[in-house]
C-alpha cells in the first residue's frame, strides 16, 4: 500500500470529531493492508513506530529543506525499512548516517507524505484516533468482537501484533491470546475519588459502603515484574523493559517463594529513616543506566499469574490472597474494610507515613488490563493532574538566565476545543520549582523547541509534569473555558507519555463538581 493512502486516511480522521466516523475511515484502510504491512501501519497510525526509539530529534527533521517528490510513490514497507535503518544506526558516524537516511526519505516523499513521516517520527500525529479508536477499527475491519480484540491487545501489550492476528488469523487464534510470563500486560488504571468514604459508597448501587481494599498510594514509579525461575524481567508503566537498571528489584523478586509469577506494583527510594524520597529521586534512580547509591524498593499490590494459574479474571479478593502468600514484606500495606471511619483513619496513616494517599479497590473486580474504570479509585488530599508543557518563559530576578514559568496544557482527545488529540492550555505556573528542576528544564526545553515568541520558548508537547492545584475556575482567556487555581509543580513524569495526560474534559468536570 502507498503511504499516501495513510495520509488521506489520517487527514479524514483528524477532520471529524465523530468516533464512529474515525473508526469507519481507519477500518477501510486496514482491510486493504497486506499481512506484512499491518504492524508497520498500526505503528504509523499511533505515531509509535514498531522500531521504538529512532535516535531522531526535532532539529534533525526541522532543519531539512529539500525539494520533495511531485507524485506519491513511497510504500508503507519502504518507509518501515527506512525507519529500521534509522533505528539501527549506531556508533561513530551514526549522526551522518541518520542525516543521509532522512534526506533520502524526504526526497522520495511528497510534501504531504513527508509531513506525515515527520509527525510519526516525533510521535505527534494528533488525529484524535487514540489506541481505543484504532482497536475498534481493527475489530470492524476484521469482523471480530471488539471485546476480543481489546483483550488480546491488553494481554499481549502489542497493538500491531493484535491487529495482524485479527486481520489475518482465525477467531480461535485471537481468542487464544492470553497471559504469558515474560510478556508485559497493559496495566490497570485508576479513576479519582474525593475521599475514602466516597470511594466505599461509590462501589455500591444503593450508596451504602461495601467492603473494599484500601491500600497505600505511593509517590513512586509503576513496575510490572515477570519471573520464570531465575529469569526476571521488569517493565515500566509504558511496558518498556528496564531490567538491567534495577538489579535490586530483580534480586528481591528472585527471593520470593514462587517459580513463575507476574506482579504489579510500585517502586521508590527511601531516605535514611525509611521514609519515601521525593518522586524525582526515584525517577533519577529509575532512569539511570548504571547502578546508583540510592536503592529502589518494590511494593506489590496485585498478582496476575502464580505458578501456572492465571489470576487476571479472578476477583481482587482471590488475587490478594495469592499475593499474601508470595509477596511477604514486599506487599503494599493495606486493609479490607467496609467501615468509612476505618478507611479514613488508614488514609491518614498513609499520609503520616509520607505517602500520597490511598487506593480504594472493589474487592470483587477482575484485573481490567489497560482500562481506567471505577473499580480502582485513587484518593489524594491534594488534587494533582498530569499535564503537558506547551511553552516556557524566561525567568526574572534570581531566576534570570533560566527557563521558569510553564505553560500547561490538558489533552483534548476528540478535538472539542481544537485539534483532535492536541492540547488545550489551562494555565501557567512557576511555583514549586526547585533549583535542580530549574537547571534541568533550562537545559531540556531548548532541545525540543519549535519556535520562539516575544515572551516564551514554545516546545513540542511531549513533556509530562504533575501539577497540584486547589481547584479550577471558569476562564474566558483559555479556549477550554477553564483555568487552574494555585497551580504548583510536584514533579516531572518521564514515566508517562503525552497521551497519558489528564483531559480538558476532566478539568471541566471540576467546574460542575
Gap between the Cα atoms of 428 and 298, Å rounded:
35
Question: Of the residues 217, 428, 490, 496, which is catalytic?
Answer: 217
Cβ proximity of 300 and 162 under 8 Å: no
Tell me the sheet residues that pair with 234: 225
Cell of 248: 535490586
CA distances (Å), 262 to each of 158, 190, 326, 370, 373, in order? 17, 19, 11, 16, 21
DSSP 415: -
**What is the per-residue DSSP string for 34-79?**
-GGGHHHHHHHHTT--TT---S--HHHHHT---PPPSS---BHHHH
Residue 101: φ, ψ to 5°: -65, -45
Specify the pairing of strand 372-379 against strand 189-192: parallel
Cell of 131: 489506541
Of 261, 262, 177, 251, which Cα lies nearest the Cα of 224?
Answer: 262
Gap between the Cα atoms of 333 and 326, Å rounded:
14
Catalytic residue status for 217: yes
Binding positions: 215, 222, 237, 266, 301, 372, 378
Gap between the Cα atoms of 366 and 372, Å rounded:
13
Binding positions for ATP: 215, 222, 237, 266, 301, 372, 378
Burial of 28 (0-12, 13-18, 19+ CB in 10 A): middle
Gap between the Cα atoms of 198 and 297, Å rounded:
31
Count of beta carbons in the 10 Å neighbourhood of residue 458: 17
Please name the residues in contact with 357: beta carbons below 8 A apart, sequence gap of 6 or more: 217, 347, 350, 351, 378, 379, 380, 381
Of 391, 467, 460, 386, which Cα lies nearest the Cα of 47?
Answer: 460
Gap between the Cα atoms of 43 and 460, Å rounded:
20
Gap between the Cα atoms of 92 and 128, Å rounded:
39
Gap between the Cα atoms of 163 and 167, Å rounded:
6
Q: Which residues participate in catalysis according to the annotation?
A: 217
Amino acid at each position: 500500500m502507498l503511504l499516501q493512502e495513510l495520509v488521506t486516511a489520517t487527514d479524514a480522521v483528524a477532520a471529524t470529531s465523530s468516533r464512529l466516523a474515525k473508526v469507519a475511515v481507519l477500518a477501510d484502510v486496514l482491510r486493504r493492508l497486506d499481512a506484512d504491512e499491518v504492524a508497520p501501519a498500526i505503528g504509523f497510525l499511533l505515531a509509535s513506530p514498531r522500531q521504538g526509539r529512532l535516535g531522531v530529534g526535532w532539529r534533525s527533521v526541522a532543519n531539512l529543506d529539500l525539494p520533495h517528490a511531485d507524485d506519491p510513490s513511497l510504500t508503507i514497507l519502504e518507509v518501515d525499512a527506512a525507519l529500521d535503518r534509522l533505528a539501527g544506526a549506531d556508533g561513530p558516524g551514526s549522526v551522518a548516517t541518520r542525516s543521509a537516511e532522512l534526506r533520502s526519505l524526504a526526497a522520495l516523499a511528497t510534501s504531504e507524505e513527508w509531513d506525515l513521516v515527520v509527525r510519526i517520527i516525533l510521535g505527534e500525529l494528533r488525529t484524535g484516533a487514540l489506541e481505543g479508536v484504532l482497536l475498534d477499527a481493527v475489530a470492524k475491519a476484521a469482523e471480530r468482537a471488539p471485546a476480543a480484540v481489546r483483550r488480546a491487545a491488553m494481554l499481549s501489550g502489542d497493538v500491531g501484533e493484535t491487529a495482524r492476528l485479527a486481520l489475518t488469523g482465525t477467531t480461535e487464534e485471537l481468542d487464544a491470546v492470553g497471559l504469558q510470563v515474560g510478556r508485559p500486560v497493559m496495566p490497570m488504571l485508576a479513576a479519582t475519588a474525593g475521599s475514602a468514604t466516597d470511594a466505599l459508597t461509590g462501589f455500591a448501587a444503593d450508596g451504602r459502603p461495601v467492603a473494599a481494599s484500601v491500600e497505600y498510594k505511593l509517590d513512586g514509579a509503576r513496575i510490572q515484574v515477570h519471573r520464570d525461575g531465575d529469569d526476571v524481567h521488569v517493565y515500566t508503566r509504558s511496558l518498556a523493559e528496564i531490567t538491567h537498571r534495577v538489579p535490586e528489584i530483580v534480586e528481591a523478586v528472585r527471593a520470593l517463594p514462587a517459580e513463575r509469577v507476574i506482579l504489579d506494583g510500585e517502586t521508590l527510594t527511601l531516605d535514611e529513616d525509611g521514609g519515601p524520597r521525593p518522586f524525582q529521586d526515584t525517577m533519577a534512580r529509575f532512569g539511570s543506566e548504571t547502578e546508583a547509591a540510592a536503592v529502589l524498593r518494590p511494593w506489590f499490590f496485585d498478582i496476575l499469574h502464580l505458578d501456572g494459574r492465571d489470576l487476571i479474571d479472578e476477583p481482587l479478593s482471590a488475587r490478594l490472597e495469592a499475593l499474601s502468600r508470595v509477596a511477604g514484606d514486599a506487599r503494599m500495606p493495606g486493609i479490607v474494610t467496609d467501615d468509612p471511619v476505618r478507611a479514613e483513619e488508614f488514609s491518614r496513616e498513609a499520609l503520616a507515613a509520607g505517602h500520597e494517599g490511598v487506593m480504594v479497590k472493589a474487592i470483587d473486580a477482575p484485573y481490567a488490563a489497560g482500562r481506567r474504570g471505577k473499580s480502582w479509585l485513587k484518593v489524594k488530599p491534594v488534587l494533582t493532574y498530569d499535564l503537558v508543557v506547551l511553552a516556557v518563559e524566561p525567568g526574572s530576578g534570581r531566576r534570570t538566565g533560566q527557563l521558569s514559568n510553564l505553560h500547561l496544557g490538558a489533552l483534548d482527545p476528540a478535538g472539542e476545543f481544537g485539534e483532535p488529540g492536541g492540547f488545550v492550555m489551562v494555565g501557567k505556573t512557576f511555583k514549586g520549582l526547585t533549583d535542580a528542576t530549574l537547571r534541568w528544564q533550562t537545559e531540556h526545553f531548548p532541545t525540543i523547541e519549535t519556535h520562539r515568541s516575544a515572551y516564551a520558548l514554545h516546545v513540542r508537547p511531549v513533556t509530562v509534569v504533575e501539577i497540584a492545584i486547589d481547584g479550577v475556575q471558569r476562564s474566558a482567556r483559555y479556549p477550554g473555558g477553564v483555568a487552574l487555581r494555585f497551580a504548583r509543580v510536584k514533579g516531572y513524569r518521564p514515566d508517562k507519555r503525552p497521551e497519558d495526560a489528564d483531559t480538558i474534559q476532566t478539568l471541566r468536570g471540576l467546574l460542575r463538581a
